[in-house]
Structure 1
Amino acid sequence: MSKKYSIQKTPFIVPTTDGKLIEEHFGKATDGNSNISIAHMIAPPGWSEPFQTPEFDEYTYVIKGKKQFVIENETIVLEAGQSIKIEKNTRIQYSNPFDQECEYLAICLPAFSMEAVHREDE
């Protein structure tokens, strides 16, 4: 009888140059799944990404600290215990302009990929 579950003990650590820790537990880089990606992230104080317009819905749950979202032209700050869904094809910028690190979970449907995120040049 085959297993009906899969335990992830060795997530894929995505290489970054901005100090952010990205541990993909399920997704394209880890298990080839293109339907969903689930990643644990830790963004250092002062971290930010360029604006992007992804082809996937993204759900974020903040575990610790605060995370800033610029969605279209609106700025929103989430704190620990709060979550948000951002619909695909929405222009967004993620950042942590605060003085403590931000730990969060990100879930993308379909899975995150560099080809589908459409980051703007910095």
Structure 2
Amino acid sequence: MKKYTIQKSPFVVPTTDGKLIEEHFGNATTQDSKISIAHMIAPSGWSEPFQTPEFEEYTYIIRGKKQFIIDGETIVLEAGQSIKIEKNVRVQYSNPFKEECEYIAICLPAFSMDLVNREGE
């Protein structure tokens, strides 16, 4: 039995919105559907459509700020802060600020396009 796995080459998810997504563990990298862990950098002005994911999502902000609209409530997190968003909650993620935002996202179960339920897609 393998005792540990070191991830030296995360899967870089192709994007069209300027956001860097490096999945270290999860569906794309390790075919693990239980958890995904990704390092992300969202450029200034970035946003995603509203979504109602079928997974819990934890976000830890490394630098910059990130905006969350959760069931109509706007929350802004800064470096050193974190949040857990429950599954089946409508949320929109964005970075309307001047500097890019670097953060870690953890999803339980793992992020999947089949589970994210983005509006308009």
- TM-score bracket relative to the smaller structure: over 0.9
Amino acid at match of 1:106: A
2:22 equivalent to 1:23: yes
Amino acid at match of 1:31: T
Displacement over 3 Å in runs of 4+: none
**Counterpart in 2 of 1:68?**
67
Shift of 1:105: 0.2
Cα offsets for 1:66-104 (capped at 9, x unmatched): 000000010000000000000000000000000000000
**Counterpart in 2 of 1:14?**
13
Q: Which runs of 5+ in 1 are unaligned?
A: none
Count of residue pairs brought into register by the alignment:
121
Amino acid at match of 1:43: A
TM-score normalized by the length of structure 2:
0.98
Shift of 1:53: 0.1
TM-score normalized by the length of structure 1:
0.98
**Counterpart in 2 of 1:52?**
51
Matched residues in 2 for 1:46 and 1:110: separation?
28
Matched residues in 2 for 1:97 and 1:3: separation?
43
Q: Secondary structure at the match of 1:81?
A: coil
Cα RMSD over matched residues?
0.8
